[in-house]
Chain A
Amino acid sequence: MGIKYDPQNFSYASMTTTKWSWKANPLALQELQAAGGRIQVFGSTQQLSVAGKRLLESELQANVDNQFMLEHAQQSWQGLELILPARVTLKNKLHLEITFEAAQPSAFTMLLNVGAGSQMQLEREIHYPPVSTRLNLLTCGKVEADSRLNLVDRLQGGQSPQQSLWMANLHCQKDAQLDWSFYPEVKGKVLGKCITVLEEQGSSAVFKVGQFGRRDDWIGIQGLIDHRAPKTFSRIKMRGVLYEKAQVYFTSIGKINKGAHGANAAQESRLMTIEPHAKGSVNPLLIIDENDVQAGHAASVGQYDEEALYYLLSRGLVEADAKQILINNFMEPVLPKETVEK
């Protein structure tokens, strides 16, 4: 819906045997394990947990129209399962690095389960091999009742352009809170589809995307938040700065189903095109089947604010610095401070 892609780039051809490894910061990993949680590998030799299997099956059934997901499911299953038991608050941020070592097409799946009443901060870094490859990643997860998940996802590329297909479906139960940021800092082509389902009353989700497009990068990202219960709350914020010949297409969808009264959904997608050959578009959609709601979206594509630039120059800044300040200011709502490019 709304997202553009070139089927040639993202056709789901045969995936060969994937070679990858993972590591986590020891302090947080120990804290997770001490609390009864775990990160475990699954694949041809190790089995997926029963709950994980059930989650994956229900996700596939609910997305039978998603050809990419179905084809992903037909590949050999492998990946990671992260389980945080109920009523645990992790003090340390879990920093998880997943590194693909060989330049061959790979399919990888990750399952997340944050138990009821628990809280965690998780940062996932996906490292690509230095040479060009194709990578298809699927994440399915559940944020159970009264729990809270702060999730940061980064795709970090090698030296050559890559092709990535990123699919993530997360479900929030009663009063759960999800704060999710996605930074595809990878060269090449990325097609991303991130879905959050607010399936029980009082759940809330914030989804942020920050993108610096360079070279001839092609980035298409769709964020969908599906309100299925009363008094659910969502925000989507997408911002991109485009250099050189980059192309960025953002689609944000706020869907409010019948019965989700008192829902509040807002989306804001903005692009700043810096150089003459960069291009992009933003397509915000609202699908509303309930009247007792507040729903809105705002979108814009533009360049530097001429007046602001003029002001900064008049205060004695050189043009490059003034422009960098405006770019930093533009990206500030979606990026953690240390990420803003210098």
Chain B
Amino acid sequence: MESENPQFEKDQLRDERGAMDPVAPVFSTGVGIDAETIKQISQAKNEPAWMLEIRLAAYQTYLDLPMPKFGPDLNGIDLDQIKYFQRATDHIARDWEDVPNDIKATFERIGVPEAERKYLAGSAAQYESEAIYSNLKKDLESQGIIFMDTDSALQKHPDLVRQYFGTLVPADDNKFAALNTAVWSGGTFLYVPKNVHADIPIQSYFRINAGRTGQFERTLIIVEKGGSVNYVEGCTAPNYSEDSLHAAVVEVFVKKDGYCRYTTIQNWSTNVYSLETKRAQAGTNATMEWIDGNLGSKVTMKYPSIYLVGQGATGSMLSIAAAGANMHQDTGAKMIHMAPHTHSTIVSKAICHNGGRADYRGLIKYTKAATKAKSHVECDTILMDPDSASDTFPVNDIETSDGTIEHEAHVSKIAEDQLYYMQSRGLDEATASQLIVMGFLEPFTKQLPMEYAVELDRLIKFQMEDSIG
């Protein structure tokens, strides 16, 4: 397609840090969606014909499927007013001055570096991490690991993408999975070959191109037999977005004896509906772990699931949700045990403050084949003020008789005896409350890479300030 914006020519995208991937010209399909829009998207990306077929079929499914009949109110989404496809460069039109003050203040308080702030607020295309990324990329390539955005993977490794795309999250799974399949763009493609161990956490943070395509991301991770990877996406700082709907789909395949940890921290601004479908499949003796933090958005509906299909597979989910003013976090996890001796663990922590609402919705399912399965679920919620609320909806569906399930949940305000003890040791109420909340979240924060943990710590303290004392 002819460039509409000649300033982004390949030659101009070189500097002392080496070559960057070419940034595509400005292109948008405008608001609304129809079959023609989808053809335009596919054509603009020069996709193979089979992908266009998948997209068009998914679009039809999207039209046929109803909106979710459970959970938060989604009436605020106007599906006809959404820009379904726009290239990365479209997003960078915002001046730093236009970024809301509260977002700027948060950056300041949690110590986000200057250049990174502009990137996160959408007023700069990237921050200074390209050099780090280049080195990382070389390391990964030398091990045979493929790490790129899904659009590039479709061009460079079409067979791999075709083999796995949509097999775990089919388009007819739910309305927003169908929408994503029809209009997806960006996301991460990560392939770990047999017996390869990615030594350091792989972070989407460093993969600049996909950083701002987030509206309908499509992420595909394949860990071959005996391989292992620790993938980290998102960031603690608020991600200011003008897009009102984010409907990502993530599919993770962990083969026999493989290991994958997928860490997500999302802090969308409070105009965003984040409706994601995340699903993983764990083979024989494989381990899949979701570490999931949800700190922002207007509405989040996200229930990462793990299909434990191989004997001895293990799945775990560790999540936190912090719901402040005008936020409704409807999150949880699903563990589907489909083979003998499979184990799963869910630990969910939520904090509601300033009238926020955090609900837990989970499923543990043992199919007939899942003999001797074990599962443990814990959901704890702290309600900081009288306007906050929390519901817990766990569902256990058991078709075996020799499995074990344990479920515990607890909802309360900050324990008065703990507060009293700390105040008696000389702390003021606000500091004591803060300390209790951070202790409550510790099982989550101690699993994060250090820089995330530090930022998260500062962010939660900052967010809690109005709620305490």
Contact = CB atoms under 8 A, between A and B. Distances in A.
B412 A301 contact: no
A298 B413 contact: no
Contacts of B98: none
A205 to B, nearest CB: 19
A275 B413 contact: no
Contact of B402 (A280, A297, A300, A303): A303
A293 B381 CA distance: 11
B407 A282 contact: yes
Contact of B407 (A278, A284, A288, A294): A284
B398 interface: yes
B401 A288 contact: no
Interface string A267-286: 00000010111111111111
Contact of B396 (A277, A282, A294): A282
B406 A291 contact: no
Contact of A300 (B397, B405, B410): B405
Contact of B389 (A280, A289, A294, A303): A289
B176 to A, nearest CB: 24
A301 to B, nearest CB: 4
Contacts of A278: 401
A261 interface: yes
The dominant DSSP class at the B interface is strand
B403 interface: yes
B412 A290 contact: no
Contact of A295 (B397, B400, B411): B411
A288 B394 contact: no
A298 B397 contact: no
Nearest to B402: A303
Nearest to B392: A286
A242 interface: yes
B391 A285 contact: yes
Contacts of B43: none
Contact of B383 (A275, A288, A303): A288
A258 B388 CA distance: 10
A43 interface: no
Contacts of B383: 288, 290-291, 293
Given A2-B395, A285-B391, A288-B390, A276 B401 contact: yes
B395 A261 contact: no
Contact of A279 (B400, B411, B413): B400
Interface string A95-108: 00000000000000
A277 B398 CA distance: 12
Nearest to A242: B401
Contacts of A300: 404-407
Contact of A275 (B387, B401, B408): B401
A296 B386 contact: no
A306 to B, nearest CB: 11
A338 to B, nearest CB: 28
A293 B391 CA distance: 13
Contacts of B399: 279
B410 A296 contact: yes
Contact of A293 (B393, B403, B409, B413): B413
A26 to B, nearest CB: 46
Given A301-B405, A302-B405, A280 B398 contact: yes
Q: Which residue, B387, B388, B401, has most C-beta atoms of chain A within 10 A?
A: B401
Nearest to A276: B401
Contacts of B233: none
Nearest to A287: B391
A276 B406 CA distance: 19
Contacts of B388: 291
Given A2-B395, A279-B398, A301-B404, A295 B410 contact: yes
Contacts of B404: 300-303
A297 B403 CA distance: 20
A319 interface: no
Contacts of B398: 279-281, 301
A82 interface: no
Contacts of A303: 401-402, 404
A250 to B, nearest CB: 10
Contacts of B401: 242, 273, 275-279, 303
B384 interface: yes
Given A293-B412, A298-B407, A299-B407, A285 B394 contact: yes
B90 interface: no
Given A261-B386, A282-B396, A301-B403, A288 B391 contact: yes
A281 B396 contact: yes
B402 A283 contact: no
Interface in A297-339: 297-303
B243 interface: no
B116 interface: no
A301 B411 contact: no
Interface string A163-180: 000000000000000000
Contacts of B413: 291-293
B455 interface: no
A245 to B, nearest CB: 10
B408 A298 contact: yes
A156 to B, nearest CB: 26
Contacts of B389: 258, 288-290
B411 A288 contact: yes
B402 A273 contact: yes
Nearest to A294: B412
B106 to A, nearest CB: 24
Contacts of A288: 381, 383, 389-392, 411
A82 B400 CA distance: 44
Contacts of B402: 273, 276, 303
Nearest to A297: B409
Contacts of A276: 401-402
A299 B393 CA distance: 13
B12 to A, nearest CB: 55
Contacts of A292: 386, 413
Given A293-B413, A297-B407, A303-B402, A285 B393 contact: yes
B405 A293 contact: no
Nearest to A295: B411
A243 B382 CA distance: 39
Interface in A181-214: none
Interface of B: 352, 381, 383-413
25 contacts: A273-B402, A275-B401, A276-B401, A278-B401, A279-B399, A279-B401, A280-B398, A282-B407, A284-B409, A286-B409, A288-B383, A288-B391, A290-B383, A291-B384, A291-B386, A291-B387, A296-B409, A296-B411, A297-B407, A299-B394, A301-B405, A302-B403, A302-B405, A303-B401, A303-B404
3 closest A-B pairs by beta carbon, nearest first, are: A291-B383, A286-B392, A273-B401
Given A284-B409, A296-B408, A302-B406, 8 more contacts: A278-B401, A281-B397, A290-B386, A292-B413, A295-B411, A295-B412, A299-B405, A303-B402
